[in-house]
A and B are shown apart, each in its own frame.
Chain A
Amino acid sequence: QSVLTQPPSASGTPGQRVTISCSGRSSNIGGNTVNWYQHLPGMAPKLLVHSSNHRPSGVPDRFSGSKSGTSASLAISGLQSEDEADYYCATWDDNLKGWVFGGGTKLTVL
């Protein structure tokens, strides 16, 4: 059971906007920023969003992150077939004194 809760799956058609949620508690998301990673099978995970809402250079602005209270979200607009991947949220947990991940959300582009 992951410390952070994500829906196991999400889907959308090309061009649509999808949102992936990540729920935690005060000891993790509530007090720290959230990072999002994209993971394609057989590849290294890739940083998509850091510090809750900042995109590294090279990441399309179709990807955006937000955080409110003990929850965070990743939004993907203008969905493309290459966005089909697993997405993970992560943050520091003050109680566990370690990094924690969500269980991952498998995004399917229909």
Chain B
Amino acid sequence: QVQLAQSGPEMRKPGASVQISCKASGNTFTNDHMHWVRQAPGQGLEWMGIINPSGQATSYTQKFQGRVTMTRDTSTNTVYMDLTNLTSEDTAVYYCARSGGWYAHFQTWGQGTLVTVSS
């Protein structure tokens, strides 16, 4: 059973960038697609994008295009999500999740990483 462990909480000022990591343990996730989903305070879940198993293909929802980059290091079973030009509206809990395909359900989720953007 693959488990996903995310990096710890982050605090940034407006205009800064943040990188969150998500490390898989247990069975390898070499064939898994990885997603990032966020939840702002009092809001619902919002899908941000996906990266394929090799890391060669990504797709980001239009809202975040130009500000988000998803990468993965297959040697360490870790995926990363970089978000730039942060505003207070980016304050949220960010989750990674794995799926068996681009169009497949999210089987397992990370525990979440709180990112707080405040001056």
Q: Which listed residue (B47, B97, B105, B108) contacts A98, Cβ 8 A? A: B47
Q: Which residues of A contact B (CB under 8 A)?
A: 2, 32, 35, 37, 39, 43-47, 50-51, 56, 86, 88, 90, 92, 96-104
Question: Is A96 a contact of B95 with CB atoms below 8 Å?
Answer: no
Q: Which listed residue (B37, B61, B105) contacts A35, Cβ 8 A? A: B105
Binding site secondary structure of chain A: strand
Given A44-B109, A45-B95, A92-B103: A104 in contact with B44 (beta carbons within 8 A): yes
Question: Is A51 a contact of B59 with CB atoms below 8 Å?
Answer: no
10 more A-B residue pairs beyond the given contacts A44-B109, A45-B37, A86-B44, with a C-beta to C-beta distance below 8 A: A37-B45, A45-B106, A46-B109, A47-B105, A56-B107, A88-B44, A92-B103, A97-B59, A98-B59, A99-B35
CA distance A37 to B44 in the complex (A): 12
CB distance from A3 to the nearest CB of B (A): 10
In the complex, chain B residues 10-42 whose Cβ is within 8 Å of any chain A Cβ: 35, 37
CB distance from A88 to the nearest CB of B (A): 5
Q: Which residues of B contact A (CB under 8 A)?
A: 35, 37, 44-47, 49-50, 59, 61-62, 95, 97, 103-112
13 A-B pairs (CB sep. < 8 Å): A2-B44, A32-B103, A35-B106, A44-B95, A45-B45, A46-B109, A47-B106, A47-B107, A90-B45, A96-B61, A98-B49, A100-B47, A102-B44
Count A-B contacts at CB 8 Å.
Answer: 57
Contacts of B44 in A (CB 8 A): 2, 86, 88, 101-104
CB distance from B40 to the nearest CB of A (A): 12
Q: Which listed residue (A56, A92, A97, A104) contacts B45, Cβ 8 A? A: A104
CB distance from B119 to the nearest CB of A (A): 26
Binding site secondary structure of chain B: strand
Contacts of A44 in B (CB 8 A): 95, 109-112
Contacts of A86 in B (CB 8 A): 44
